[in-house]
Chain A
Amino acid sequence: MMECLWCAKTIILDITWMNLFMPEKPKPLCRECVEQLDQLDGERCKLCSRRSEIEFCLDCIQWNKHATKKTIELNYSIFAYNPFIQAIITKWKYRGDYVLGNIFQSYFQQTFKDTFAFLKKDAIIIPIPLSEERLLERGFNQAKRLAEFLPMETKEILTRIHGEKQSKKTRAERLDSKNPFFMKEKLQKPVVLVDDIYTTGTTLRHAASLLRDNGCPKVYAFTLIRG
């Protein structure tokens, strides 16, 4: 018997001729819960993954006008932010229900395969780190958990100093805050940064800027949610 990781209801698998002979992989969520996830399909901004009818959303056009240097090539996200996924994320990373990360495993793997296949095998995955204080408090890093789902080499070469919580800052404060990251070693390969949420992109741009200054030719961002 399987239980939905989120609502704990028993999951009943549909029996079809296909899975009668080839048992389906265990599913983390029941169908009702899956339906509440808002997967980003259809038109999106090619740079930031926001739902957008035009190729580049106005924010991104605006950003590029004022950008002094190149940071991330693009961000690709899987889900739109809605109250349902917000509740899952809150319980996962803030309450610390580690196992909830499994909900995202197959989405994360499949989307990566579909989107970043062009990178071949020489790219490196780098999860956005937590500060040591935050890590002690939560017991695990959600970005690292997501990175573990990917079949690529992962390097934890970024560290982060303890600062105020991003979520407590205003948008403007977040946009011009200082770079909280440090790099343990140089890296001359393309990088995919992994994090749970892309909101303004500031955190990812800080990390990307540091990586590029230290030899990475290209930096991409792969995130679970477009906030």
Chain B
Amino acid sequence: MFDNQPLPEKSQLDKLPFLFSGKLLLRKEIALQDEDFQKLLKAKLLIQLKSITKRNFVYQCMRCGNQRPSLFATIPCHRCKNRHLYCRKCIEMGRVLECEPLYEWNGPRPDWTRHLAPSSWDGELTVDQQKAADRMVLAINNQEKELLCWAVCGSGKTEMLFPGITEALKHGKRICIATPRADVVRELRPRIQQAFANVTVQALYGGSDEKEATAQLIIATTHQLLRFKNAFDLLIIDEIDAFPFHADPSLPFAANRARAAQSTMLYLTATPRKEHRVRINQKKLPHTFVPVRFHGHPLPIPVMNMVFSLKRDLKNIQAPVPFLSWVKKRQNSTRQLLIFVPTIRLAEQLQETLATIFLKEQIIIAKDKLLFVHAEDADREEKVNQFRQKELTVLITTTILERGVTFSSVDVAILDAGHEVFDEAALVQIAGRAGRSADDPTGEVIFFHDGKTEAMIQAIQSIKMMNIRGGFA
């Protein structure tokens, strides 16, 4: 993973805290020659922790917190010549073997720069954005433990973070923005670097070039938090409701470990999960609410469209008639069309059928103006870019595009909105793809279904609720 380096010269030994502080590492993640590595161990600057522990007959991986027996296995290890456990849960980040410890920095904590004027951003916040930003600044200054920012899709949450980050940097704090998807990390990195031009910024995700994590401001996928311990004074968890943060217990485990003792955790979400809403209602979780999009228009409200033959049509890979007639008589036919389907298979199958019909109906000018995309698609980034650049007219997608991506002018359809993959949060997020730009602040969102689900009803209700709270009666 790394090329092992000799220790820096004596005069540069004060660099070590920046290299190792706040981390929890495997030997192979420490880029030092063995001799120097041993020196640090002997000086107790690096200390060892057991990697897999056993308590009350339950094993736990100390890197990811995994306790599920099915996510441990044994290996006849060539290194120690014993058969012992390894953790399957966090294996993508490098295998944790029972015979190898984890290493932690035990020297002084680094002094991060106190920036006098860290912000190079010259934009302006709306009144609603400013209110939320002020609340976040307050939480950071008072070292409040946690604050949830509930901001509707398209409210411009990244910009809202800038005042808080500015404040933290003035106080010499270390900051991490953790988000579920690598796409979003890549998209955020240049925006954040531009807004804080003189601050060191690094992006961490599986396969990123920057691996050292020595910057004051880190943007990372939530998984990368597993490499940190007692590191961040301000930890911002984006899309707290998204897979995998709410579905995977190892991520809250890692987030809590990654934060420093006196730190603030900010949660961002457009669709808080029940656990958080309950805590908000019980006044146990402080929150701030941004009910209005940055352009000041209300959220588009989805329309349900019943299709009796839906399951049969999809099985026969046919386009449902009500769907086609909607496509043909949309209010604004210049908008691009984003079609959500429940499975990769269906996305793949529908491509040819829809391309043929849409070409005939002159909705697209060539068959290759309609593509499909899914999570395992190697060309995913490129296709999404093409759609963003309007080189594509129609994109069929799985829930992979439900959040984190912005297209300027689209209508949105869900085929089989009653499918279990479309839970309330997913439906709200999907509806939130429409009307994102000030130039075209509305858009149609249609749920094609063959029987209303609780999720559909709840999603529409909660969107209406947010519009009411936003002052659109």
In the bound complex, do residue B78 and residue A98 qualify as a contact, i.e. CB atoms below 8 Å apart? no
Q: Select B73's contact among A91, A95, A98, A141, beta carbons within 8 Å.
A: A98
- Residues of A near B70 (CB, < 8 A) are 3, 8
- Residues of A near B95 (CB, < 8 A) are 95-97, 139
In the bound complex, do residue A136 and residue B79 qualify as a contact, i.e. CB atoms below 8 Å apart? yes
In the bound complex, do residue B75 and residue A98 qualify as a contact, i.e. CB atoms below 8 Å apart? yes
Q: Is A215 an interface residue (CB 8 A)?
A: no
- Residues of B near A83 (CB, < 8 A) are 376
- Residues of B near A135 (CB, < 8 A) are 78
Name which residue of chain A comes closest to B72, CB basis: A99
- Residues of A near B92 (CB, < 8 A) are 91, 95
Q: Is A140 an interface residue (CB 8 A)?
A: yes
Q: Is B123 an interface residue (CB 8 A)?
A: no
In the bound complex, do residue B75 and residue A140 qualify as a contact, i.e. CB atoms below 8 Å apart? yes
Contacts A91-B91, A95-B95, A97-B88 hold; do A136 and B78 have CB atoms under 8 A apart? yes
- Residues of A near B79 (CB, < 8 A) are 136, 139
C-alpha spacing A98/B95, complex, angstroms: 10
Interface size on B, residues (CB 8 A): 16
Q: Is B77 an interface residue (CB 8 A)?
A: yes
- Residues of B near A140 (CB, < 8 A) are 75-78
In the bound complex, do residue B77 and residue A139 qualify as a contact, i.e. CB atoms below 8 Å apart? yes
Name which residue of chain A comes closest to B76, CB basis: A140
In the bound complex, do residue A139 and residue B73 qualify as a contact, i.e. CB atoms below 8 Å apart? no
User: B-facing mask of A129-150, CB < 8 A → 1, else 0?
Assistant: 0000001101111000000000
Q: Select A139's contact among B71, B75, B88, beta carbons within 8 Å.
A: B75
- Residues of A near B71 (CB, < 8 A) are 8
Name which residue of chain A comes closest to B73, CB basis: A99
Q: Is B266 an interface residue (CB 8 A)?
A: no
C-alpha spacing A135/B75, complex, angstroms: 13
- Residues of B near A99 (CB, < 8 A) are 73-75, 88
Contacts A3-B70, A8-B70, A83-B376 hold; do A97 and B78 have CB atoms under 8 A apart? no
Contacts A3-B70, A83-B376 hold; do A96 and B91 have CB atoms under 8 A apart? yes
C-alpha spacing A97/B72, complex, angstroms: 10
Give min CB distance, A74 to chain B, whole Å: 31
Q: Do most interface residues of chain B lie in helix, strand or loop, or is the interface mixed?
A: mixed
User: A-facing mask of B274-312, CB < 8 A → 1, else 0?
Assistant: 000000000000000000000000000000000000000
C-alpha spacing A91/B93, complex, angstroms: 11
C-alpha spacing A140/B74, complex, angstroms: 12
- Residues of B near A98 (CB, < 8 A) are 73-76, 86
- Residues of A near B78 (CB, < 8 A) are 135-136, 138-141
Q: Is B97 an interface residue (CB 8 A)?
A: yes
C-alpha spacing A212/B257, complex, angstroms: 58
- Residues of A near B97 (CB, < 8 A) are 139
Q: Select A95's contact among B76, B77, B91, B376, beta carbons within 8 Å.
A: B91
C-alpha spacing A71/B74, complex, angstroms: 37
Give min CB distance, B101 to chain A, whole Å: 16
C-alpha spacing A99/B95, complex, angstroms: 13
C-alpha spacing A136/B79, complex, angstroms: 6
Give min CB distance, A33 to chain B, whole Å: 14
- Residues of B near A136 (CB, < 8 A) are 78-79
Give min CB distance, B63 to chain A, whole Å: 14
C-alpha spacing A98/B91, complex, angstroms: 11
C-alpha spacing A181/B209, complex, angstroms: 35
Chain B CB count within 10 A is highest, among A99, A135, A139, for A139
Chain A CB count within 10 A is highest, among B76, B88, B92, B95, for B88
C-alpha spacing A138/B94, complex, angstroms: 10
C-alpha spacing A17/B88, complex, angstroms: 36
- Residues of B near A97 (CB, < 8 A) are 73, 88, 91, 95
C-alpha spacing A99/B70, complex, angstroms: 11
Give min CB distance, B343 to chain A, whole Å: 11
C-alpha spacing A138/B78, complex, angstroms: 8
Name which residue of chain B comes closest to A87, CB basis: B376
Name which residue of chain A comes closest to B77, CB basis: A139
- Residues of B near A96 (CB, < 8 A) are 75, 86, 91, 95
Give min CB distance, B336 to chain A, whole Å: 29
C-alpha spacing A3/B91, complex, angstroms: 18
C-alpha spacing A97/B91, complex, angstroms: 7
Give min CB distance, B11 to chain A, whole Å: 35
C-alpha spacing A139/B92, complex, angstroms: 15
Interface CB pairs A-B, < 8 A, 11: A91-B92, A95-B91, A95-B92, A96-B75, A96-B91, A98-B74, A99-B74, A136-B79, A139-B75, A139-B79, A139-B97
Q: 15 more A-B contacts (CB under 8 A) besides A3-B70, A98-B73, A139-B78? A: A91-B92, A96-B86, A96-B91, A96-B95, A97-B88, A98-B76, A98-B86, A99-B75, A99-B88, A136-B78, A138-B78, A139-B77, A139-B97, A140-B76, A140-B78
Closest 5 CB pairs of A and B: A99-B73, A98-B75, A96-B95, A3-B70, A95-B91
